[in-house]
Amino acid sequence: MSFSMDSAPSLELVNQALQALYNNPDVTGKEKASVWLGELQKSVFAWQVADQLLTLNQSLESCYFAAQTMRTKIQYAFHELPADSHQSLRDSLLEHASKIAPGTPPVIVTQLSLALADLALQMATWKSAVLDFVERFSKDHLGFLLEVLTVLPEEISSRSLRLGANRRKEVTEELIEASPTIIQLLTHVNTSACGDEERDQRVRSKTYKVMGSWFSVGAIPQQVLLSTQLMNYPFQALANVNCPAFLHEAATDCVCSALYCSEDLERYHELAQRLFQGVMTLVPAYHEADKDEESDKCLNYCRIFTELSESLFHMLLATPNQGLGTFQLLDLLLMCVNHHLYEVSEVTFNFWYRLSEELYQRNSQEITDLFKPYIQNLVLALCQHCHMDEDHEGIPDESGDFGDFRVRVSELIKDVVFIAGSSSCFVQMFESLKSPKNPSWAVSEAALFIMSAVGKNILPEENEIVPQVVEAILALPETTHVAVRYTSIQLLGELSEWIESHAQFLDVILQYLLAGLQQPVLASIAANSLQSICTQCKDQMTNHFDGLMHIVRAMESFNLSPDAALGLLKGTATILGRLPYANIGSALSQLCASQIGPLERLLNEESGPVRQGSANDPVIWLDRLAAIFRHTNPSVANGQTHPCQGVVVEVWPVLSRSCEKYQSDIRIIERCCRCIRFAIRCLGRNSATLLTPLVTQMVGLYQTHQHSCFLYLGSILVDEYGKEAGCVPGLLDMLQAFCGPTFKILEEHNGLRNHPDTVDDLFRLCLRFIQRAPVPFLQSALAKPIMCCAIAACSLDHKDANASVMKFLSDMIKCVREKEDRDDFEVRHMLVKKLLEEHGQSLVIALINACLFCLPTFMSADVSEVLYELMIIDRPMFCLWLEHTLKALPTESSGGAITATKKQLADFHKACTSAEDIKQVSSSVRDFCRLYR
């Protein structure tokens, strides 16, 4: 099957492809048909083909393909159509929609309604689309009309349509103007009955969806709505215990949308009051649903109660327990948190996060204390939800839905605990532990779990409750349920700061953890807690270093997860750095030896393909070495030889051989580079002996395999040695050798998009040159091609890669005005100015176009920083560059809508060029972007 772009394919050929896609049992045939149809959809002939298929109405498959094609073409390729064909497209789509019958599949109805909605939004000359829809479809095609009225507001903010702020405002005003007609239509539908109760309910549910959609864009004026009964209908449905699930869901969505809208209390104060009254009438219905174990309905009510509390959030804090800020809202939420299903309680979590954030920012003990009892009750309720089943065997399961829920509970409690007070919360849990009722293991474990969440917040000087808890843990008998022991060990790790101030407990705690290490199911959590204590209690732990080394040497006999093994090595390395200078080298050598041995055995074997996580995976040992080097940070006096130097030199040949042997395996090479990176960071400039062999090997391997981690490792070398004049020529040679293969892959079709890691690491490397050796870098022949590459990469919408490009550009421009190194200030100034004389205009065009057409809004802040730096060094020139860029921008969309008026362009130019700081530039760029998206 072939497809030429020169002419439209016959409908017979299209139908053959659809038959092959949907009905051919041959997978290869299906794939070929799928590719062919995809090519057809991208072509300009898709408009005509889709229109013809809809007219013929031959099969479900052809109609669905045609409707979906029409929708995606309007959404993504509207610019392909000349303006004089817009009206005929509109008439054709309206005609197709008029042929929808009760049996038309919903997927086709949805695609056609989206196609019409997207056309109406983009076709600025179609001024009365909503009223046209009502007039044409309200009598015989009510279901389709309600679908179109639902999707139309939802599509206003569609990222793919990119309507722009002016068109969005214009469309929203048209919706507001049409809202009395829509309210009248929806009211009529809700008060009419056709005699078929289920059909009536289905239609009513669609009206709720329309209302919710119109609320979401603020298209229903408060006064128009409140003068009707319309808002009563979803509340009546929700209050009815016999309400079917689909209607209940639609009514919930509608009310939540209205509540979200009413958060703008200045504009919607009366609506907020009416909604508050309506929501409060639903409390009996919630209790009824809870009694009948209708959990889906309980979830819906909880969503409404939470959305009400969110919309009145500012009232809660501005006028606590008064008017609309009533604490009845908190009672509603706690009622939901106390529901027997944890999924219901989870709906409220965002509110509690928001409350804790606001109270933390306000920092008023008087206001915080008002909320304290509610947070105490919240913690108790969450503790109840964290109880595991009594018949659960083994340690707590951290995977699965319940495990995820417990993690979220822990995070929430860490966030809100300052409101109730950490000690108070600890006491609460301790009381339940020593309750005379002899609590079950599940109750005890849940209390210990909540204590773990607040352990880090306990003041080191606390001497009343924590000692009793620690003593109780240390006295747990062997017969205690393993989950309780697991969580107890976890709690000891969280209490590491407290343990640092209570060294008398250290010996017995270490013995307890050692016993845990020797039990397979507890080994990993014991290793994690041991790491926490090593990191926090560095000075006290030096006396226990021999014991730690004994544990490390026996590590393979413990059942440790890879992360726990790394944690144990991190803790040991942290203590190693605190040993007397004379002992560090031999201790590090011993610590590395147990990792180097297995790695060398793998290097000497003729091994087959490496399976991740298997016995022949070198990554296990490379990660462990990296952890050791990363966390070994001894203090070295001036003039002293670095105590780790000899060990790193010993280890280097093994790392070099690893790079050679596994050079084609990106996963292993990344870990090799990471290990070398931390070894270099450990030694600092004492690693000079490795510089030449390392660079030679990296450059050689990069010619064959363009692994971007070599570029990253190069940036580490520049960071360490870039200020050493004797090393700079060699480092620039390294950059030169890297740039050849790098530019080659980035200049391929879609090269930047296909290799974001390479872009990221290349510009990290160039950034290090700007920071450490700006003049040699700017004087080199590489400065110009790298600048051109940066300009091309401005539009790359990969977060990390784009951030590295922007950081390189802003620091390069910024170095013009940094005068600390007075010797080369003039040279830097001259070199950057010369580069910008040639490329400044192209750079500004690339930056503005990237913001408007390529990057998500949050990434415009980094771009704004580059614009600001350009302006600071030469404001008059920047004004000209920006003016030229703005004049070239399109001011009208393909549908005839104004994207940016002359005044808006002038206002942006003025705001940007007169800005006094980065924030002002960033704000003006963000506002300007809205005109084009």
DSSP 91-130: HHHHHHHHT--TTS-HHHHHHHHHHHHHHHHH-TT-TTHH
Q: How many CB atoms lie within 10 A of CB 239?
A: 15
Mean pLDDT of 418-422: 93
Q: How many CB atoms lie within 10 A of CB 448?
A: 26
When pLDDT is cut at 50, 70 and 90, the band that residue 610 belongs to is confident
Residues 6+ apart with CB under 8 A from 601: none
pLDDT at 294 over 80: yes
Contact between residue 216 and residue 153 where contact means Cβ atoms under 8 Å apart: yes
Mean pLDDT of 332-344: 97
The position carrying tokens 């009400």 is 308
Contact between residue 537 and residue 500 where contact means Cβ atoms under 8 Å apart: yes
Instruction: Collect contacts of 595-601 with beta carbons under 8 A, ≥24 apart.
Output: 595/621, 595/624, 595/625, 595/628, 596/621, 596/625, 596/651, 596/654, 599/625, 599/654, 599/658, 600/654
Helix (H) or strand (E) holding 748: none
Q: What is the pLDDT of residue 612?
A: 85
> What is d(CA 121, CA 168) in angstroms, rounded to the nearest whole number?
8
Could you tell me how many helices (H) and strands (E) the chain has, helices first? Answer: 49, 0
The position carrying tokens 């944690």 is 567
- The mean predicted confidence, pLDDT, of the chain is 93
Q: What is the pLDDT of residue 762?
A: 98
> What is d(CA 252, CA 246) in angstroms, rounded to the nearest whole number?
10
pLDDT at 607 over 90: no
The strand pairing partners of 892, in sequence order, are 898
Q: What is the pLDDT of residue 867?
A: 98
pLDDT at 608 over 80: no
481, 486, 487, 493 alpha-carbon torsion, rounded to 10°: 150
Q: What is the pLDDT of residue 23?
A: 85
pLDDT at 613 over 80: no
Contact between residue 552 and residue 589 where contact means Cβ atoms under 8 Å apart: no
Residues 6+ apart with CB under 8 A from 576: 545, 584, 587, 588, 591, 632, 634
Where would I find the H helices in 295-348?
A: 295-311, 313-318, 328-337, 342-346
pLDDT, tens digit (0-9, with 9 covering 90-100), for 167-176: 999 999 999 9
Token pair for 910: 């003025």
Mean pLDDT of 539-552: 92
pLDDT at 5 over 90: no
Contact between residue 241 and residue 285 where contact means Cβ atoms under 8 Å apart: yes
Q: What is the pLDDT of residue 337?
A: 98
Contact between residue 174 and residue 214 where contact means Cβ atoms under 8 Å apart: no
Q: What is the pLDDT of residue 397?
A: 87
Q: What is the pLDDT of residue 437?
A: 66
Mean pLDDT of 233-260: 96
Burial of 775 (0-12, 13-18, 19+ CB in 10 A): middle
120, 125, 126, 127 alpha-carbon torsion, rounded to 10°: 120
Helix %, strand %, coil % of the chain (to 5): 75, 0, 25
| Pick from 362-376, 597-611, 716-730, 899-913: least confident | 597-611
- The CA-atom distances, in angstroms, between 494 and each of 394, 490, 578 are 21, 7, 22
Mean pLDDT of 332-349: 97
Contact between residue 114 and residue 149 where contact means Cβ atoms under 8 Å apart: no
Contact between residue 48 and residue 8 where contact means Cβ atoms under 8 Å apart: yes
Mean pLDDT of 851-872: 95
pLDDT at 634 over 60: yes
Mean pLDDT of 757-781: 97
> What is d(CA 856, CA 350) in angstroms, rounded to the nearest whole number?
25
Contact between residue 652 and residue 696 where contact means Cβ atoms under 8 Å apart: no
Is this prediction's pTM over 0.85? yes
When pLDDT is cut at 50, 70 and 90, the band that residue 435 belongs to is low
When pLDDT is cut at 50, 70 and 90, the band that residue 686 belongs to is confident
Token pair for 652: 């280097």
Half-sphere exposure of 569 (CA within 13 A, CB side): 29
Instruction: Output the 3-class SS for 373-385.
Output: HHHHHHHHHHHHH
When pLDDT is cut at 50, 70 and 90, the band that residue 821 belongs to is low
In 3D, which of 422, 325, 337 has the Cα closest to residue 374?
337
> What is d(CA 562, CA 623) in angstroms, rounded to the nearest whole number?
9
Averaging pLDDT over each range in 307-316, 423-432, 434-443, which range is the top one?
307-316
pLDDT, tens digit (0-9, with 9 covering 90-100), for 94-118: 999 999 988 889 999 999 999 999 9
Q: What is the pLDDT of residue 511?
A: 94
pLDDT, tens digit (0-9, with 9 covering 90-100), for 642-667: 999 999 999 999 999 999 999 999 99
When pLDDT is cut at 50, 70 and 90, the band that residue 820 belongs to is low
311, 316, 317, 319 alpha-carbon torsion, rounded to 10°: 130
Residues 6+ apart with CB under 8 A from 275: 231, 255, 258, 259, 262, 308, 311
Percent of the chain at pLDDT > 90 equals 83
pLDDT, tens digit (0-9, with 9 covering 90-100), for 64-93: 999 999 999 999 999 999 999 999 999 999
When pLDDT is cut at 50, 70 and 90, the band that residue 58 belongs to is confident
Q: What is the pLDDT of residue 823?
A: 66
- The CA-atom distances, in angstroms, between 753 and each of 63, 762, 785, 806 are 35, 14, 18, 16
> What is d(CA 921, CA 848) in angstroms, rounded to the nearest whole number?
12
> What is d(CA 344, CA 599) in angstroms, rounded to the nearest whole number?
50
Mean pLDDT of 472-496: 94
| Pick from 358-372, 676-690, 813-827: least confident | 813-827
pLDDT, tens digit (0-9, with 9 covering 90-100), for 219-243: 999 998 999 999 999 999 999 989 9
Q: What is the pLDDT of residue 6?
A: 66
Burial of 431 (0-12, 13-18, 19+ CB in 10 A): exposed
Q: How far is CA 819 from the centre of its chain?
A: 39
> What is d(CA 356, CA 338) in angstroms, rounded to the nearest whole number?
20
Mean pLDDT of 372-379: 96
Contact between residue 370 and residue 325 where contact means Cβ atoms under 8 Å apart: no
When pLDDT is cut at 50, 70 and 90, the band that residue 638 belongs to is confident
Mean pLDDT of 553-581: 91
Q: How many CB atoms lie within 10 A of CB 747?
A: 11
Mean pLDDT of 675-680: 96
DSSP 437: T
